[in-house]
Structure formats: C-alpha cells, structure tokens
C-alpha cells in the first residue's frame, strides 16, 4: 500500500451551508458536475457530501456517524497567523474550541469546529516548517532540504 | 487561506494496536520522538494520537467524540486493486462495511472501518487518474497533464 489519502469527505447535513463556510474561509471550489463540493488541496481533495448519502453509501445510518475522533490540522508559516484564522472561522459561523495559545511541545495552536462539527486545528510548528513553494507538510519538516 | 490539510490526526483508544493495523497495511512510520505515530503521505502527515489526549487538547471529553462523519478515500490506479486491499484491511483487524463493487457514477469501490472505527473508502475512479509519478489525486484528475 502506498502512502496517500486521495479524498477527505466531510459529511454534511446541509452541504450548501457548509460549502459557504469553507468559501468564506477563502477556499475556492473545483468545478464538480455531480453534486459533490470539491476543494483540491496538495495531491488530494477535500469533498463535502450529504451526510445521509454518505451513510447510505457505507451501509450505515446517519445516527451511526459522529464527529471529532479525527481532526484536520492546517499548519501555518508563522505563529501570528493562528489567531486571525480562528477569528475568521468564527466570523464565518464556526465555533472556537480553543483560542490561539502556546503548546507544551513548543508550537502555537488553537481549534475550531466547523458548522457541522468537523474539527480543525490551526497550528504553527516551528520544528516542521512548511515547504516554501507549496506549503506541503511532512512530520520532520522540509527545513533540511 | 491556502488549500491544504497538513495533518490528519486519528484519535485512538489504543495507539499501539491501531499503529499495528496500519503497519500491517504496509505503511511505514516516520521517526517520531514524542509519542505520536506518524505516517508521511503526499504533502501531509497522518498521525495517530491517544483519543483521551486529543479530547483534552481540544477541551472536550472523549464522549463528545465520534467516528464516521468524515471518511478517508484511498484511490488506486486499477479497479483490480480494490478487493485485495479491503481483504488486507480485514485480515489486519479492520471491518469491511461494503465489499468491492461498481458504483453508479462509474467507479469501483468499497469501505472498511479500522479497528477504532475510522472509515476508509478504497476506490478506483477512472475519470480522475492518479498522477503517475507519485499517486497524487485531484478532483478532475491528472489525465490531461
């Protein structure tokens, strides 16, 4: 098995409203003909899809599905970007779970939940700088390249 | 806001057991000094972290956290890869939610849940071929490049 996640799908009770939230964060949709809202990332796509159809697709019921046991980290290049991004998420209808603050491991971060309950961490990790040209992340950073 | 997810964190009640599952799928850990299990993907990292610590980090309780409202898609280059990967996940301790089958939109896919309940879709999408050199995915594919 190679190492990749091609598609992250967020189930949504209201796809249009959730897409409006991500639009408000500044994300730009990729043309998509079939009802899925798609945002291309770096070598992968974030998709928004109706929660009931997602459940049906998996052979589960909506009541089986929950939020938060996985989180999505968005790393930034500079510590000063964390708080404004959390504020932007709140202004767009998200909920700040943890305001921007220093972390014991030496970084700086905060969490928000999107309007459906999917949880994001906005983080600055000084030990794992993003790749300059495209913002790619890897665990031990691109600093040595 | 740029387009990226730097880190996908899967909360785990038993991090070592969950890591053993991903190891058994053939994933190779990135050296990680601080207790997080990390697998570098394409411009992002998949991390495994204790569920209770993840909840604490977000200011939530473990009982607030659920699974399945987001899913992770692993796309393959050929339709014939889907069923064997699902079988491999089952043999490693996962649970097949949906066996390999053709999908209405013209692809071929199936779903499994990992031992903690995180849900993966293994999919072949003939309309969005992976990038030849590194397996990267984007919504409209790399076929025209």
What is the number of domains present in chain B? Answer: 2
Does A119 reside within a domain?
Answer: yes
Structure tokens at A112: 């928000």
- Least Cα separation, residue A17 to chain B (angstroms): 16
Sign of the alpha-carbon dihedral angle for B129, B132, B135, B139: negative
Does B97 reside within a domain?
Answer: yes
Q: Hey, are the CB atoms on A67 and B66 less than 8 Å from each other?
A: yes
Does A24 reside within a domain?
Answer: yes
Q: Does residue A81 sit in the same domain as residue A140?
A: yes
Q: Does residue A55 sit in the same domain as residue A73?
A: no
Does B54 reside within a domain?
Answer: yes
> If you average pLDDT over residues B82-101, what whole number do you get?
98
A10 touches chain B (CB under 8 A): yes
Q: Which helix (H) or strand (E) holds B24?
A: helix B15-24
**Number of DSSP helices (H) and strands (E) in chain A, helices first:** 3, 7
- Rounded CA separation B72/B54 (Å): 19
Does A40 reside within a domain?
Answer: yes
Residues whose CB is less than 8 angstroms from the CB of residue B33 and which lie 6 or more positions away in sequence, other chains included? none
Out of A6, A71, A136, whose CB is closest to B43? A136
Q: Hey, are the CB atoms on A4 and B72 less than 8 Å from each other?
A: no
Last residue of a domain, one of A59, A80, A106: A59
Structure tokens at B74: 């692993």
Structure tokens at A1: 């098995």
Are A26 and A74 contacting, i.e. CB atoms less than 8 angstroms apart?
A: no
- Rounded CA separation A88/B58 (Å): 18
Which residues of chain A form beta strands (DSSP E)?
A: 7-12, 37-40, 45-50, 70-75, 95-102, 108-113, 119-124
Q: What is the pLDDT of residues A49-104, one digit of tens each?
A: 999 999 999 999 999 999 999 999 999 999 999 999 999 999 999 999 999 999 99
Q: Does residue A76 sit in the same domain as residue A122?
A: yes
| Residue for token pair 């961490």 | A121
- Rounded CA separation A109/B110 (Å): 36
Q: Mean pLDDT for chain B?
A: 95
Q: Which helix (H) or strand (E) holds A86?
A: helix A82-91
**Residue A144 confidence (pLDDT):** 62
Q: What is the pLDDT of residues A99-129, one digit of tens each?
A: 999 999 899 999 999 999 999 999 999 999 9
Q: Does residue A106 sit in the same domain as residue A126?
A: yes
Q: Does residue A82 sit in the same domain as residue A47?
A: no
- Least Cα separation, residue A120 to chain B (angstroms): 9
CATH number at residue A3: 3.10.180.10
pLDDT at B16 over 60: yes
Does B64 reside within a domain?
Answer: no
Confidence band, pLDDT 50/70/90 cuts, at residue B134 = very high
Residues in B closer than 8 angstroms to A121, CB to CB, are: 7, 9
Residues in B closer than 8 angstroms to A116, CB to CB, are: 69
SS (H, E, C) B42-111: CCCEEEEEEHHHHHHHHCCCHHHCECECEEEEEECCCHHHHHHHHHHHHHCCCEEEEEEEECCCCCEEEE
Q: Does residue B13 sit in the same domain as residue B80?
A: no
- Least Cα separation, residue B93 to chain A (angstroms): 16
Does A64 reside within a domain?
Answer: no
- Rounded CA separation A136/A74 (Å): 10
Q: What is the ipTM of this complex?
A: 0.95
Interface A–B counts its CB contacts (< 8 A) at 232
Q: Does residue A84 sit in the same domain as residue A34?
A: no
Q: Hey, are the CB atoms on A3 and B34 less than 8 Å from each other?
A: no
- Rounded CA separation B51/B109 (Å): 29
Q: Hey, are the CB atoms on B117 and A39 less than 8 Å from each other?
A: no
- A contact residues 116-145, partner B, Cβ 8 Å cutoff: 116-119, 121, 123, 130-131, 134-140
Q: Does residue A81 sit in the same domain as residue A142?
A: yes
Range of the domain at B78: 69-145
Give the residue among B44, B69, B62 at the shortest CA–CA distance from A118: B69
Does A22 reside within a domain?
Answer: yes
Q: Does residue B79 sit in the same domain as residue B134?
A: yes
Q: Does residue B36 sit in the same domain as residue B96?
A: no
- A contact residues 41-70, partner B, Cβ 8 Å cutoff: 41-47, 51, 54-55, 57-60, 64-70
Q: Does residue B42 sit in the same domain as residue B76?
A: no
Q: Does residue B11 sit in the same domain as residue B40?
A: yes
């Amino acid at each position: 098995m190679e190492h990749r996640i091609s598609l992250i799908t967020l189930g949504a009770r209201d796809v249009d409203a959730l897409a409006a939230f991500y639009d408000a964060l500044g994300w730009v949709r990729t043309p998509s003909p079939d009802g899925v809202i798609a945002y291309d990332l770096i070598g992968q796509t974030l998709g928004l899809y109706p929660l009931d159809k997602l459940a049906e697709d998996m052979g589960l019921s909506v009541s089986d599905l929950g939020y938060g046991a996985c989180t999505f980290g968005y790393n930034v290049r500079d510590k000063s970007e964390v708080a404004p991004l959390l504020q932007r998420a709140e202004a767009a209808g998200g909920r700040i779970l943890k305001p921007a603050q220093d972390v014991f491991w030496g970084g700086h971060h905060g969490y928000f939940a999107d309007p459906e309950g999917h949880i994001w961490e906005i983080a600055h990790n000084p030990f794992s700088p993003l790749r300059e040209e495209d913002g790619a992340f890897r665990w031990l950073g691109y600093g040595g390249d």
